[in-house]
Structure 1
């Protein structure tokens, strides 16, 4: 991605400068109850298996008496190998390329649409 800017140089000398394009992203992990509409969200600045494991731990502490069924799609950081899953959370993995099976997909779509409108 070219970056247009200005720099001072001697006449006839084309400036060459180092430029690093940087982006800062915020990620939103979220779960909601289709029964009563309650929700639990967690805002972080990254995605990986350890962060997802920490999210599940915090989510298990929200209404700890409830059994939570979590639909997991297929990003690599959603892996459930070699991690601790709290007893009150039961993951259900959906097949690849089936976003229509993820009940939270419509909620994310709505939130992304609202963000683009602002």
Structure 2
């Protein structure tokens, strides 16, 4: 099963690399087993950055999930479909690029990165 999930992740990365193929894509990933791609050759425009083990504070996705959880924690959902609909509406109506940037911004990480690239 694990190899199948890694293969799916690899196929996703290959497909993603074809979107604006001249653009470099930097993807931050955790150490989930399915992120193990040692037997695959990544496309040239895909760069994977792994966060250290046991450091969810460095994973932007974890911060976004925390933000979402803060908004649904006091709701009661009768069915799984209700939860799915709520999440769909929240992501499409409440999350925009500016909010996501605000959620994941980390001065400790951004400053060295921006300094390195003279941005």
Counterparts of 1:38-57 in structure 2, within 5 Å, are: 48-57=5-14
Higher Rg: 1
In 1: Cα distance, 2:13 partner to 2:46 partner? 8
- Gaps of at least 5 residues in structure 2 are 76-85, 87-119
Q: Which has the higher contact order (CA 8 A, sep 6+)?
A: 2
TM-score (norm 1): 0.52
**RMSD (CA atoms):** 2.2
Q: Deviations over 1:47-85 (max 9, x none)?
A: 710010011011111221111111110110000211121
Q: 1:54–1:109: structure 2 CA closer, same or farther, 3 Å change rule?
A: farther
Q: Which residue of 2 aligns with 1:85?
A: 42
In 2: Cα distance, 1:85 partner to 1:78 partner? 12
Counterpart check, 1:94 vs 2:51: yes
- Gaps of at least 5 residues in structure 1 are 1-46
Counterpart check, 1:74 vs 2:20: no
TM-score (norm 2): 0.51
Counterpart check, 1:58 vs 2:58: no
Q: 1:112–1:64: structure 2 CA closer, same or farther, 3 Å change rule?
A: farther
Q: Structure 1 or 2: larger strand share?
A: 1
Q: 1:56–1:115: structure 2 CA closer, same or farther, 3 Å change rule?
A: farther
Q: Structure 1 or 2: larger helix share?
A: 2
